[in-house]
Structure 1
Amino acid sequence: MGFFDDLPPPPVAPSPPERPRPAWAMPEDAIGVAVPLDIALAFGDGVAVGVTALTAFANGFEVTVSAVARVDDRRGRVLRDGFRRAYPPDEPPGPEFLRFGLRYADGGVATNLTFPGALDAEPAGPLLIHHSGTGTQRRQTVTYWAWPLPPPGPLTVVFSWPARGIDEFRTEIDAGAVRAAADRAVVVWRDA
């Protein structure tokens, strides 16, 4: 028998209780439903950008933004810098940053210019939170979580990318289609 075999196992600390997920957070126990979209692309200096997917959940939606460069960027900076939040929170972003926002039919606005940080209370207005991203030297795809579901009416999508020659581009998505898809989202684990 070895030295450590004679020692009693350490006591197991009880797990702290799980905090309930905030009402505004993306559900972890549900599968969203894809919203049919007509792709509208903003074209700039050697780039195209647009919303390429939208997935609705009961309390909000995931929106996927894709940017494609016309030619290979060996250093990968053009697209990467467009999505990278490399500026202090108290300063405006530089022209290389791709600005993305949503305007709800009731006037609510959510953009990628602000980061809500840790939210203990329900936010006063719509949120747009960077969720995930991936890319190559010619393509970047970033997913955002948008909360809450949009009210009936148009959901306006706005892009601006000054360094790439996109001053401001707008397109609309029917919020009714988003809400209809949200009604079909599936909660996988009701006890989670």
Structure 2
Amino acid sequence: MFFESLQTEEADLPISPELPPWLCPAFPEMGAVLAMERLIARSDNAVLLLPTIRAYRTGCTFHVEIALRQGDLSVTDYWDLHMTMVPSAPVRLRAGERLSPRLLRWGVRYADGTKVTSIDRRRAAPAGPLLQAMRLDGGLTALHVVLWLWPLPPPETFELAVEWPLGGIELTLVELDGAAITAGAARSAGYWS
């Protein structure tokens, strides 16, 4: 026999270990979907939309759609634009060094001035807010990006920021309703509860 049964000891280990809340939404929580239908930014070759936000008890996800068109770009420049959306190694800058214009960057700023960006890198568990790209999927003309914001924003208006020089997107700020997100989080339920 090739695949004979192996004798193993039973272990009381969880099948799905709990991940820290700053890393991703807690499983098995559904989250409450808030329809946003917001245009974030538009250039000659890129459009960024925020169709929905999903609010969880510990944070929220921004579901962003990015549509691209070649327009007057060469095939090489269009491909380069598309490839800048693919996640890469963490951004590491020396003091005084400028960010690459290729970098698609996201940020959040609260009314009290607290700011967090998708390019912030932390080696340990964060003590304050965190914004990170969790997932990207799509094709050559459209991409879906999910940004995780932890913890929940305060129940007041705050700003979502984006800047993408290569995509022709200058710094753009969009106001979002923190009260609606925290109210949505209160409605979030578990898949089995």
Query: Normalised by the size of structure 1, how large is the TM-score?
Result: 0.80
Residues 1-192 of structure 1 aligned to structure 2 (within 5 Å): 9-12=6-9, 14=11, 16=13, 20-24=18-22, 25-71=24-70, 76-86=79-89, 88-90=91-93, 93-116=99-122, 119=124, 121=125, 123-189=126-192
Aligned residue pairs total 184
* Deviation sequence 1:49-91 (CA, Å, 0-9, x none): 1323210011100111221113388674313313433564345
Using the TM superposition, name which of 39-48 and 85-94 deviates more.
85-94
CA radius of gyration, larger in: 1
* Bigger Cα displacement from structure 2, 79-88 vs 124-133: 79-88
Q: 1:140 is paired with a residue of what secondary structure?
A: strand
**Distance (Å, rounded) in 1 between the aligned partners of 2:60 and 2:2:** 56
Contact 2:34/2:55, CA 8 A, preserved across alignment: yes
Structure 2 residues without counterparts, runs of 5 or longer: none
Tell me how far 1:163 sits from its aligned partner: 1.4
Seq. identity, %: 27
5+ residue gaps, structure 1, are none
* Deviations 1:108-150 (CA, angstroms, capped at 9, x unpaired): 2221112435x4x4x2211112211112111111101110111
> Which TM-score applies when normalising by structure 2?
0.80
SS of equivalent residue, structure 1 residue 77: helix
